[in-house]
Amino acid sequence: MLPRCWPPDVLGVSATGPLADVEARAPAPWVAETPDPYAAERDAWTILTAAHGLGPLGFGALLTRFRTGRRILEVARGPDPIQRLMETPPVHERAGGRERPIGPAVAQAVVDAAEIGEATIRRVRQLGVRVLTVEEPAYPARLAAIAMPPHVLFVTGDPAALSMQRAVAVVGTRRATSAGRTTAGRVASALVAAEAAVISGLAFGIDGAAHEATVRAGGRTVAVIGGGHASLGPHAHTRLAAAIVAAGGAVVSELAPDVAPSRGTFPRRNRIISGLADATVVIEAPARSGALITASWALEQGRECFLVPGGLDAPASAGCLSFLREFRDAHVVAGVPQLIADLGFARPTQAGDALVNATSRTLGATEAQVASALVAGRITVDELVADTDLPVATVLAALTMLERRGLAAGVYGRYRPAGPLLGEVPRPKPR
Amino acid sequence: MLAVVPSATLYGLDGRSIRVEVDVAPGLPGFTIVGLADTAVQEARERVRGAIRNAGFTFPPRRTTVNLAPAELRKTGTSLDLAMAIGILLGSEQVRSGSGPVALLGELGLGGEVRPLPGTLPMVAAIAKRGIGRVVVATMAADEARLVDEVDVIAVATLAEAAEVVRGRRARRVPVAMPRVTISGVGSVVGEPAGSGSIREGEVVDLAEVRGQAEARRGLEIALAGEHGLLLTGPPGVGKTLLARTIPGLLPPLGDEAARSVSIVASATGEGPIHSLRRRAPFRAPHHTLSYAAMVGGGPNLTPGEVTRADRGVLFLDELAEFDRDVLEALRQPLEDGRVLIVRAGRAMTFPARFQLVAAMNPCPCGFAGSEPEGRCRCTPGEVERYDRRVSGPLRDRLDIWVSMPRIHAAALVAAREPEGSAVVAARIADARDIAVLERGRLNGRLRGRALRRACRLSGEAACRAVDLAEADVASGRGTERLLRVARTIADLAGSSAVAADHLEEAAWYRSQASRASALLAS
């Protein structure tokens, strides 16, 4: 898919060279009708995000002083730029903390960024990344409402996914248990049924399970990544990211495409996850998990926060329990339907049942048998064989087809129901 | 006086016929060996000298020269000892030849005893090819030598007996007080070297001893029926190695041609005296610390490696991810061609290496990824991914069947049906193999391209299913072929002439964890 491009004259870039080629293949007829009033300023901000070390605080101070991003660039490209940039006063004398929001290193970074400006713009376009600034109406309103919203959002996929009427963050540890992954999938499926967007962080474990279940259930999901779009990680989730975009979701970052994720970028990223959502649900979090940072951001931003409690001795849930004990505003998840009700998303629950029934009707006899054994909690092939009394070959063939249709999943010889089957209630089997 | 005695040496897996020429001439006493002889052959001087004296003869106090012809061929090992000693006896006229041409093969001890050698079988075959009708070998090697049809084998225990044979007087056994010594001469490796992978008779496990693991049992059966590469994945202690140890009991006996080939390899690699053609398919399980040369073959004497020792049988690599990357990569050529080419400075040699690869590995460095209790695995997801990737893509593609072996709950074990024993499964495997060989001339694991497509005869419905399933296996373009091959074997096991949709569905099950995970996202 070709990137959506703004016309070169708006950018001040001549339409020759590789860019002209892109233009030729992707004409932009909408430009003639509605000239984009934010384009020039958007490009200036995009260029400034590439300045290493320039955070929301410093950027806010610069904007207060110089009013527009274009003006900042002019100063940075003008005479004696370092000195002039460093003279920027803090926005709030007390709250700003630092005496000078722009240090010499950051000032130099701004000058450097201004110098390579066109390259940054080209890079963003080449990756097919859409840029949203906080000034624009397309910028998600929820996120704009938080303290220190990112000035610029880099988005692939549909930006509308960021502004759905209902949005819930589903987060948790990277080292999830398979029970945790299943819970994440069930919560996500239920949220899709309630027409909510699922926000998460594209990490291994809970995040991945939540995204995956949403995509499978045909919902929209937003992945907020900890680095720039060019360093999308983890590597194993590049396919997932593509699936998210293909399903009408979005992958979002506040960092310029070539910024690599680092220790500091993830906690900062977490405020966007909670900020994009009405509520944050933590599925599993061991002590000192990053998911708890997201949860505290949610509380700080005045959003709802739900945590799935775990057993007293479950290390993967220790963080959830201590968070619940510490913060009175945090809620307990008492079952998936209850969660949906607590979120105020309660809808007729028949919708979910109808989906399951529709799915099971299309299954063959042996597949249905294996599916119900899976739902009843048979994990290994041995257990499935014993439960269904079918030959091994038949069970494996049926499992293949269930897996193919997204109704079963699993690795390392242990399998579980997935997708619509998650909503099925295990029936006690006469033995 | 000049004496010429035929003998042979081992070169790789081939015997090479050698003429041992001995000249005992007047002059200062001395003993020289010429003709590209390596250290073991040079050391023969001391063994020959001792053996002649202790057998009751006299070492000639004259100028003795031994030439090994053809002179340009490098000679290794101890097979020429006996021929040199007899040559000296003939040259010094202590023994007069009273019979027709007779070749001599054997290592000598200082007491005059004749010892068996590695490679007796190919060496005797080389002598037979030369048209020499009689050969003298050590008693212990006689059965092995008799596997060669066209040769009259005479077994001797001592140098004195060999001299009697050359004189034309046969078979009055000269009793010699011979010390019972273990045989460990230079170059003669009898018995298993430590860490090598041959399995002993008593270590073959019956399949009935493996409880549960239905998926793995089925995967193993298909793999053996079609000679498909097999990878078993699971945490420590679930029985991966135990399952692999059932393999020798599940493979059908070898045919004549294969048995000859296997016997020659066994002989040349010094697996001990062979008493009849080896009908049991080799099963090699080398340890993961083995070197590159030990795997593919090589070394100064171009010794065959594990891939050749597993020819016509199974090479089992336990802890696959622990093997050196170079060692694993070296498997690609033999897996593709069924033979391995070893090139050393000035010499090249091709060894047969048509083996079936069976491997086992843990899912992650600590071994507990995905197993209960949750959280027992202390590896990060990145570590798990890297561990999985140690098995390179090309090698992955050559493993047709991947199965997981989960930890089985005790309750499930008790509830499970009584497992089938080796005999039942082996019969099914043999039937499926017969069908494949009869109808297609080869086992399904070796079907490629058009031959494979012809063999599958997909109905319309099955063809659609094949496309659908192959697309799900996004890991490799070879996915489709792999799917069809395995499905063909499943159909053979089911006695079906056409490959049906449910055969394909089952075949699609046996793919890697990695492609299973990515297929999750693709669907």
Asked if the Cβ–Cβ distance from A381 to B215 is below 8 Å, we say yes
Q: How confident is the model at residue A97 (pLDDT cuts 50, 70, 90)?
A: low
Q: Which of these ranges, A339-353, A408-422, B252-266, has the smallest mean pLDDT?
A: A339-353
Q: Which residue has the higher pLDDT, A307 or A56?
A: A307
Per-residue confidence band for B192, with pLDDT thresholds at 50, 70 and 90: very low
SS3 A15: coil
Tell me which of A176-185, A282-291, B338-347 is least confident.
Answer: B338-347
Predicted confidence band at B468 (pLDDT cuts at 50, 70, 90)?
Answer: confident
A361-410, pLDDT tens digit by residue? 567 788 888 888 887 778 888 888 888 888 889 999 888 888 877 788 77
Query: What percent of chain B clears pLDDT 90, i.e. is strictly above it?
Result: 42
pLDDT over 60 at B384, yes or no: yes
Q: What DSSP designation does B103 have?
A: E
Which band of pLDDT confidence, cut at 50, 70 and 90, is reported for residue B179?
very low
Query: Which pLDDT score, from 0 to 100, does residue B195 have?
Result: 37
The whole-number pLDDT of residue A269 equals 92
Q: Is B243 on the interface with A (CB under 8 A)?
A: no
Residue A268: Cβ-neighbour burial (10 angstroms; 0-12, 13-18, 19+): middle
Higher pLDDT, A21 or A247: A247
Average pLDDT over residues B118-131: 92
Least confident of A68-77, A78-87, B269-278: B269-278
User: What average pLDDT does this structure show over B170-198?
Assistant: 39
**Higher pLDDT pick, A367 / B59:** B59
Q: From B514, B482, B477, select the one nearest B389 (Cα to Cα).
A: B514
Q: Is B243 helix (H, G, I), strand (E, B) or coil?
A: helix
Of B135-144, B266-275, B403-412, minimum mean pLDDT range: B403-412
pLDDT score recorded for residue A372: 82
Interfacial A residues in 390-409 facing B (CB < 8 Å) = 392-401, 403-406, 409
- 8 Å CB contact of B406 and A380: yes
Q: How far apart are CA B103 and CA B135, in angstroms?
A: 5
The answer to whether the Cβ–Cβ distance between A413 and B370 falls below 8 Å is yes
The answer, yes or no, to whether residue A347 has pLDDT greater than 90, is: no
Q: How far is B420 from chain A (nearest CA, A)?
A: 13
The whole-angstrom separation of Cα A285 and Cα B151 is 78
pLDDT for B475 equals 46
Chain B, residues 410-439, CB within 8 A of chain A, namely 412, 415-417
From chain A, the residues in CB contact with B234 under 8 A are 412-413
Which sequence spans correspond to the domains of chain B?
2-167, 201-444, 447-523
Helices marked H in B311-459: 325-329, 332-337, 381-389, 393-397, 410-415, 422-440, 449-456
Q: How far is CA B398 from the centre of its chain?
A: 20
Mean of the pLDDT values across residues B270-297? 88
| Predicted confidence (pLDDT) at residue A46 exceeds the cutoff of 50 | yes
Give pTM, 2 decimals: 0.65
pLDDT digits (tens, 9 = 90+) for A251-295: 999 998 888 888 888 888 999 999 999 999 999 999 999 999 999
Asked if pLDDT for residue A14 goes beyond 60, the answer is no
Q: What is the pLDDT of residue B513?
A: 63
Question: Where do runs of H (alpha helix) occur along B254-298?
Answer: 256-268, 292-296
CB contact under 8 A, B490 and A400: no
Q: What number is the average pLDDT over the span A204-220?
A: 91
Query: pLDDT-derived band of residue A93, with 50, 70 and 90 as boundaries?
Result: low
The position carrying tokens 């696959």 is B320
A382, B408: Cβ pair inside 8 Å?
A: yes
- The identity of residue B216, as a single letter, is A
Whether the pLDDT of residue A424 is over 80: the answer is no
Residue B508 to residue A404, Cβ atoms within 8 A: yes
Question: What average pLDDT score do residues A404-421 get?
Answer: 77
All structural domains of chain A, each given as residue ranges with its CATH number in brackets, are 8-126 (no CATH), 155-342 (3.40.50.450), 350-423 (1.10.10.10)
A365–chain B Cβ distance below 8 A for any pair: no
Q: Do domains B201-444 and B447-523 have the same CATH topology?
A: no
Instruction: Note the pLDDT of residue B515.
Output: 61
The pLDDT value recorded for residue A358 is 47
The answer, yes or no, to whether residue B88 has pLDDT greater than 70, is yes
Task: Note the ipTM here.
Answer: 0.76
Residue B289: per-residue pLDDT: 92
Is pLDDT larger for residue A220 or for residue B300? A220
Q: Which pairs count as long-range contacts for A408-411, CB under 8 Å and 24+ apart, including other chains?
A: A408/A370, A408/A371, A408/A374, A409/B520, A410/A178, A410/A379, A411/B363, A411/B370, A411/B404, A411/B513, A411/B516, A411/B517
Return the CATH superfamily for domain B201-444: P-loop containing nucleotide triphosphate hydrolases (3.40.50.300)
Average pLDDT over residues B62-66: 94
Nearest residue in B to A241, CA atom: B521
Q: Which residue has the tokens 């496990």?
A: B205
Is the pLDDT score of A11 beyond 60? no
Q: Does A83 touch chain B (CB under 8 A)?
A: no
Res A182 pLDDT > 60:
yes
Domain B447-523, architecture per CATH? Orthogonal Bundle (1.10)
Lowest mean pLDDT among A353-367, B4-18, B424-438: A353-367
Tokens of A6: 């703004």
Output the furthest CA–CA distance in chain B (Å, rounded): 90
**CB proximity B213 to A under 8 Å:** yes
Q: Say if residues B288 and B322 touch (Cβ distance below 8 Å).
A: yes
Fold of the CATH domain B2-167: Ribosomal Protein S5; domain 2 (3.30.230)
Q: Identify the top-confidence range among A182-191, A367-376, B176-185, B475-484.
A: A182-191
Short-list A164, A337, A150, CA closest to A252: A150
Residue of B nearest to A176 (CA): B375
- What pLDDT does residue B375 have? 66
Inter-chain contacts counted by CB atoms under 8 A, chains A and B: 123
Q: Is B375 on the interface with A (CB under 8 A)?
A: yes
Mean pLDDT over B476-493 rounds to 83
- List, for residues B129-158, the tens digit of each pLDDT value: 999 989 999 998 998 998 888 889 999 999
- In this predicted structure, the answer to whether residue B199 has a pLDDT above a threshold of 80 is no
How far is the C-alpha of A74 from the C-alpha of B244, rounded, in Å? 72
* Least confident range of A19-23, A230-234, A322-326, B357-361: A19-23
Q: How confident is the model at residue B343 (pLDDT cuts 50, 70, 90)?
A: confident
Hey, is the C-beta of B471 within 8 angstroms of any chain A C-beta? no
B489-493's contacts with Cβ under 8 Å and 24+ in sequence apart are B489/B222, B489/B225, B489/B226, B489/B228, B489/B432, B489/B436, B489/B444, B489/B445, B490/A393, B490/B222, B492/B225, B492/B226, B492/B432, B492/B435, B492/B436, B492/B444, B493/B221, B493/B222, B493/B225, B493/B428, B493/B431, B493/B432
- % of residues, chain A, pLDDT over 90: 30
Q: Which residues of chain B does A205 touch, with a Cβ-Cβ cutoff of 8 Å? A: 381
**A237: closest CA of chain B, how far (Å):** 9
A382·B518 Cβ contact <8 A: no
- Mean pLDDT is lowest, of A244-258, B7-21, B262-276, for B262-276
Average pLDDT taken over every residue of chain A: 81
